[in-house]
Amino acid sequence: MFKVLVSDPISDVGLKSLIEDPMVDLTIQTGLEKEQLLNIIGNFDALLVRSQTKVTAEVINAGKNLKVIGRAGVGVDNIDLDAATDRGILVINAPDGNTISTAEHAFAMLISMARNIPQAHGKLKHGVWDRKNFTGVELNKKVLGVVGVGRIGAEVAKRAKAFNMDILGFDPFMSQERAEQLGITLASVEQIFEKADFVTFHTPLTKETKYMLDKPQFAKMKKGVRIVNCARGGIVNEEALYDAIKEGIVAGAALDVFEEEPAVGNPLLELPQLVATPHLGASTEEAQLNVAIDVAEEVANVLHGKGFKNAVNLAILPEEDFAELKPYLKLGQKLGSLAAQISTGRIEKLEITYAGNIADLKCEPLSRYIIRGLLSYHLADDVNYINAYKAAKSKHVEIVESKTHTSKGFANLVSISVKTANEYIQVAGSLLNGYGAKIVNINGYTVDANPVGNLLLAQHTDKPGIIGIVGTMLGEADINIATMQVGRKVAGGDAVMVLGVDKRIPEDVVKKLEAVSGINSIFNVDLQN
């Protein structure tokens, strides 16, 4: 018998397949305290959750028999994926079932904020007929900025079209064709923040999206802008939002998600301009049924050893598929991540070339790591070893792989070229005998950099003094330089400087470096994970 624990409220109709499975012994116990969960988790083969249960490393390690964790919904930020992966526990989610409900909720928040419906309703319920304090604004002809045009963002955009809004959209994977299909004008995040009357967020919370709307961005927004966040707390900096509302920059905000949940006692709740719901985006009968059916089916498949499709970690890797490739996997992922971090514009194509003795190996697992590294910079945990090719296809990123025995003097060479809507980026790495993995080429410049930690990459004119200025500025900012490399093609032409630094360089220091005469571009690259 497989013992399965459901620790959050999940539709029992949706769980029917598990309830009726003669091989499954299902326990439903919601609202467990941390200690209670730790005490019982060791008995279970599978755990099913929504967003309330915090599936920490401690819980995962106490789950001695756990084989699979199912998330009845999209975001898996309440599950410690690294801990699950380390223990070989598969994590699966149900990404499609709550799209429409969340889009409808975001739209409901948008309209109710524009017309002060919750505030007026509250007053009337308390016996006050107040008409003068609740004049709202129309949506008609207003500019709506949609940040993140994936499943939910696209559905929000469709609804906004019906309200005759002008839609600006940004998503690193959105093509002109897709934008036209949705009736969206492509814009940068900066343009959206400057031009929009309403901004709605539909991205995951990643290193890149954390605090993407913060004090400096609020300062540039239209006075009277209104903000919706039904994606994840932390995309909008709550402290900065509080100040922007107080200063009159933001006329209204509608939040379904918070930096800390439950958000009881959050200072934002005291502001009359705030419309709030307790993370209800996916809370409809339909969405809960959909995600429960999806997750129950997938968990049953995993337990019965059958195929599954929505894995979000790399738990099950068939060792024999990649034993010889294993030393290259991390290098491949880092090369993909580096290319993502130094490129701008929508990624259209990834070309991978395996050269030298690696060309004799079956390289598909390594390609999956490269694709994961490239795409996860924007898609976070949505892309993994298992679904890498599928994720690339769904984001219309063409993948081309080739092999050659000519390897420019290296015993082995993994080269990747990324074509974006704006440019063409090339990076290459090699496993050097005795030295381990190295980045050996960036955009045609020969370098010798370790693919780890924090790197500063500067493209600059090859002239005296620049390296000194960069060193001084980093020293003044108390940033230690661990390694340094300069690559150039010809003396006095363009050059590339790669510095390994002991901590991430703060954005204000990056801005100062960008302003140095002779420096053409600066990239603050994070290769820690």
Ligand X SMILES: O=C(O)C(=O)COP(=O)(O)O
Write down the H helix ranges in 115-237.
117-125, 151-162, 176-182, 189-195, 215-219
* CB closer to ligand NAI, 93 vs 441: 93
Tokens 């809370």, residue located: 283
Exposed/middle/buried for 515, CB within 10 Å: 0-12, 13-18, 19+?
A: exposed
What mask, x for binding ligand NAI by CB under 6 A, covers residues 119 to 148? ----------------------------xx
Q: Which of 145, 281, 356, 487 binds ligand NAI (CB under 6 A)?
A: 281
Residues in 34-53 that interact with ligand X by CB under 6 A: 50-51
Residues in 56-115 that interact with ligand NAI by CB under 6 A: 73-75, 95, 98-99, 102
Active site residue 319: no
Q: How many residues does the chain have?
A: 529
Active site residue 279: yes
Active site residue 239: no
Q: Which of 111, 252, 274 is nearest to 266 (CA)?
A: 274
Task: Work out the widest C-alpha separation in the chain, in whole angstroms.
Answer: 82
Tokens, residue 249: 């920059």
Tokens, residue 27: 């326990």
Rule CB under 6 A: say whether 112 interacts with ligand X.
no
What mask, x for binding ligand X by CB under 6 A, covers residues 62 to 91? ----------xxxx----------------
Query: Which is the catalytic residue, given 50, 202, 226, 232?
Result: 232
Q: Which of 67, 142, 226, 232 binds ligand NAI (CB under 6 A)?
A: 232
* CB closer to ligand X, 283 vs 459: 283
Q: In one letter, which amino acid is 502? A: D
Spatial strand order in the sheet of 453-461? 481-488, 494-501, 453-461, 519-527
Residue by residue, DSSP assigns 66-90 as --EEEESSS--TTB-HHHHHHTT-E
Q: Which of 421, 442, 441 is nearest to 432 (CA)?
A: 441
Residue 148 touches which of ligand X, ligand NAI, none (Cβ within 5-8 Å per kind): ligand NAI
* CB closer to ligand NAI, 160 vs 439: 160
Rule CB under 6 A: say whether 378 interacts with ligand NAI.
yes
Q: Is the dihedral of CA 467, 473, 476, 482 positive or negative?
A: negative
CB of 225 to ligand X, least distance (A): 24
Tokens 């108390």, residue located: 478
* CB closer to ligand NAI, 70 vs 75: 75
* CB closer to ligand NAI, 226 vs 279: 279
Which residues of the shown chain bind ligand X in the complex (CB under 6 A)?
A: 50-51, 72-75, 98, 279, 281-283
Residues forming the active site: 232, 261, 279
Which residues of the shown chain bind ligand NAI in the complex (CB under 6 A)?
A: 73-75, 95, 98-99, 102, 147-148, 150-153, 170-173, 202-204, 206, 208-209, 230-232, 256-257, 279, 281-282, 378-379, 382
